[in-house]
Amino acid sequence: MPSFALIAVTGVGIAAACLTTGSWVPQALRTLRTRSTGDFAWSYLLMFGGGVLLWLVYGLLRGDVAIIGANGVTLLLVGRIALVKRGAGRGPEAG
């Protein structure tokens, strides 16, 4: 049975993951609703997405549920924004 300290540490990690990943949800929903991606630079999306992908790999290697969950969801959100930006690349909002 896991110790209280291990449960507490995992709880802190999951809470941090929910807050940081959750902070992307309003932006992703807004982007999907408005289809406006001009404020997202491709360099930002690629560098941030690459970093999140590496964090996901790190979490998988460590078997850390909080890291895996947070970065998996964040990568999906960033990927969706990138798809919208690619589709908007033909219009004035492409940026």
Q: Is residue 40 part of a domain?
A: yes
CATH code of 25's domain: 1.20.1280.290
Helix (H, G, I), strand (E, B) or coil at 13: helix
pLDDT for residue 7: 86
Q: Is residue 12 part of a domain?
A: no
Q: Is residue 65 part of a domain?
A: yes
Length of the chain: 95
The pTM (predicted TM-score) of the whole model is 0.78
Q: Is residue 4 part of a domain?
A: no
Query: How do residues 4-42 score in pLDDT, each as one tens digit?
Result: 888 898 899 899 989 988 988 898 899 989 999 988 999
Q: Is residue 13 part of a domain?
A: no
- Count of domains forming the chain: 1
Which pair of tokens denotes residue 83?
């798809």
Q: Is residue 69 part of a domain?
A: yes
* Containing structural domain, residue 60: 20-90
Locate tokens 């990568």: which residue?
Answer: 75
